[in-house]
Amino acid sequence: MATTESDVLDVERIREDFPILDREFGGEQLVYLDNAATSQTPDQVVDTIADYYRHTNANVHRGLHQLSQEASIAYEDAHDRVADFIGAEGREEIVFTKNTTESMNTVAYAWGLAELGPGDEIVLTEMEHHAALVTWQQIAKKTGAEVKFVPVDDEGYLDMDAAREMITDDTEMVSVVHVSNTLGTINPVSELADIAHDHDALCFVDGAQSVPHMPVDVQDIDADFFAFSGHKMCGPTGIGVLYGKEHLLEEMQPYLYGGMMISKVTFEDSTWHELPWKFEAGTPVIAQGIALAEACDYLDDIGMENVRAHGEHLAEYAHDRLTETFDDIRILGPPADDRSALVSFNLGTVHAHDTSEILNEFAVAVRAGDHCTQPLHDKLGIAASARASFYIYNTTAEVDKLVEALEATEELFA
């Protein structure tokens, strides 16, 4: 078992950028282990938001005055920065939404309603977040398409033999989570994209848990669509990203209408703005987009390979500490050395909600519930699980604090 701190990051230096981590509750210093739900935001990003509102605040693409021009340039540059961060070809392929869920819905409504019909198939996996599962489920109901689910095996991996059988010439869309927010499984999304393309199907990758934690190159994956959220990667809430291959976005019709996304409007008809603006109706997420670009800078300065190594080290350390300390603990997902930066678990017969409440008494913040994966939890035969998820500012000492708090929990329910 790894017992030393990861040596790839200067964690104590990084923690200085996150003053919220100095908060105390009941005399205990906060141990924030709910990063899969939302990460904390460094001073650099907070300062970027404040600076925008103090010095540049204006609507974009609407005014000829100086503030509007400055805001427009900064907002457009933010698209370029995000494109570079995930390996897209350019800003035309980067649509700003309000979160991963809205990115999913944008494709489901703008592409799915037009392209799907009876006899068509949508292939998901049993570990999908509700953002994908519910969205495609409801689109299938509207269009008459069928939804199929690639099984998850007992270790938390996708059954790839089943995937190869289920993805057929009737498949129009394969939608897969890159990293499971419940299991920590890192899925072979590039292989799934290849299988989809062999059958002339498209592939949508949910990157909400991958972009914050590892280097991502959408062209290398060959995803047709890819989505993620700013608030899980040191950015602000209220902004998500939809990547789409340019030719697909060009062919798609928008499903939100109004200002900014139009080119010409008459009483009889309208035409659409160029990419990506035709999918960003109304006043867009200006401050959030500019701040997201700063978050990309912040993470790149740390190095995404270093971010990945540190998170995986903490997950392995936590997995090993939990299994060595508790005889009656169930950890969901793959082995310790083959998972992303989270560990979901159940401690004996203690309900996950009770576990979370007791941990909160020790100022240890974890998530409890089904993590927006109810069908997966149903398959696993559990109502809920507790989840400890890690990021760049977490330490092995904080994992030890988690274990100590769980020991008190176990004693309380003995």
Write out the H or E segment, with its range, that includes residue 96: strand 94-97
Spatial neighbors of 251 by CB under 8 A, at least 6 apart, are none
Asked if residues 382 and 345 have their Cβ atoms less than 8 Å apart, the reply is: no
State the number of CA atoms in the 13 A half-sphere of 151 facing the CB.
Answer: 9
Nearest Cα to Cα of residue 331 among 185, 197, 115, 215: 185
Strand partners, 214: none
Question: Quick one: three-class SS letters along 292-355?
Answer: HHHHHHHHHHHCHHHHHHHHHHHHHHHHHHHHHHCCCEEECCCCCCCCCCEEEEEECCCCHHHH
**Amino acid identity, residue 414?**
A
| Residue 335: exposure state from Cβ atoms within 10 A (0-12, 13-18, ≥19) | exposed
Active-site residue set: 372
**Contact status, residue 213 vs residue 202, Cβ threshold 8 Å:** no
Determine contact, residues 376/182, Cβ cutoff 8 Å: yes
Alpha-carbon distance 81 to 94, whole Å?
10
Please report how many Cα atoms fall inside a 13 Å half-sphere around the Cα of residue 218, on the Cβ side: 29
- What lies within 8 Å, CB to CB, of 298 at 6+ separation is 17, 42, 44, 45, 234
First to last CA, the chain: 28
- Alpha carbons 285 and 263: distance in angstroms, whole number: 20
Q: What per-residue string of b and e applies to 122-156 under the rule 16 or more CB within 10 Å gives b?
A: bbbbbbbbbbbbbbbbebbeebebebbbbebeeeb
What string of DSSP letters covers 40-66? ---HHHHHHHHHHHHHT---SSS--SH
- Burial of 206 from C-beta contacts in 10 A (0-12 / 13-18 / 19+): buried
> Of all helices (H) and strands (E), which one includes residue 389?
strand 385-389
DSSP 3-state assignment of 242?
Answer: strand
